[in-house]
Amino acid sequence: SGHRDHAYDISRDLLYITTNSGQILRYDMAARDFITPFNVGVSLNGIDLTKDGNFAYVAEGQAGATEGYIRKVNLNTGTHVNIAYTKAFGESGAYDVATAGSKVFFTTRYSGSGWTPMRVIDTSDDSMQEVRSRVRQNTNLSAAADGSKVFYTESNSSGGPAGIIDVPTLDILPTGFNTSLSSTQHAMSRNGQLIAIEFGGTSILDDQLNTVEILPAYSGGLAFNPVRDILYAAAAGTDELVALDTTTFNELYRMDAGGDIAGSTHFGAGPMTVSPDGRYVFLNTAEGVRVFEVNDVPEPACILTLLAGVAAFTQRRRQGSNLLAGSTT
């Protein structure tokens, strides 16, 4: 009840779920049960983890008179520190969070309808700076798994403003989709070369925002596998998880969700994430967070090497047999 966002901790095999009661629920994937939650705030929104798995950066949805907070949570102890930002005019609590390498990008809400800054935190010292002084409230963020790029879409505008942030330089490639992107779900591929976004149909864009492919109108969340060329899409109409090959965009398979996967009430349809090893897909729904065990992990390198060696040996045997068969000596 009251779930907002989620993030998976591969080192501890825990799923973290933020809630509107200020708790981070912790679900033990091995035991298939909840363990003691972390109490870190008032009303939490987006969450993402640092690459080393030691900390979570969490958007605090409740702001004070002059400041708002990002909660930095130590995942070893459950303790947290507050990283404060000075509120701009009309600005309220924090909304979405995306970790990209050593940086954490976050967006905020507005008391009414208006513009707020987009900010970034350097995790080495938790210093903060503005990436862009004006984006609309409730801007959604997606980061490439390699930390190279972040994609954003602004809400509450018929122009559909959006853009790609180059993480090392903080340069922005802006665009507009000429349609409202409020609560629109999107995802970046692991190297930032592809973007999947839902509006009308599901569009696939390259890193220059050119259209690569148009897919059916999946509505319920999108996520790229971080270790394989697979895009996952939630088909809310049929309550299925769809896996697509990102080189051909053909469907690889579908999985029955076993229940309703309509979007959650706070972040819209989705969000969806994939575990760093490609084993699990996690999807926010109105009922809770649904877990799909897809096991789309790469083949072990040692097996591939062995198979390659067997193939080479077999080829040599065949060549040798052919030579012997044609020999008169």
Q: Does the pLDDT of residue 312 top 80, yes or no?
A: no
Q: Would you place residue 200 in the very low, low, confident or very high pLDDT band (cuts 50, 70, 90)?
A: confident
Structure tokens that stand for 125 in this block? 């010292």
| Among the listed residues 40, 83, 48, the one whose alpha carbon sits nearest the alpha carbon of residue 271 | 48
Per residue in 111-150, pLDDT tens? Answer: 999 999 999 999 999 999 999 999 999 999 999 999 999 9
Q: How many CA atoms lie within 13 A of 70 on its CB side?
A: 32
What pLDDT was estimated at residue 266?
73
> How many whole angstroms separate alpha carbon 81 and alpha carbon 40?
9
Determine if the peptide bond prior to 271 is cis (ω within 30°). Answer: yes
Give the single-character DSSP code of 199. E
What pLDDT was estimated at residue 269?
67
For the entire predicted model, the pTM comes to 0.89
Q: Which residues pair with 230 in a beta bridge?
A: 245
Q: What residue ranges in 13-147 does DSSP mark as E strands?
A: 14-19, 23-28, 33-39, 44-49, 55-60, 67-74, 80-86, 91-100, 103-110, 115-122, 127-136, 140-143
Per residue in 36-62, pLDDT tens? Answer: 999 999 999 999 999 999 999 999 999
> How many whole angstroms separate alpha carbon 216 and alpha carbon 254?
14
Amino acid in position 2:
G
Structure tokens that stand for 3 in this block? 């779930």
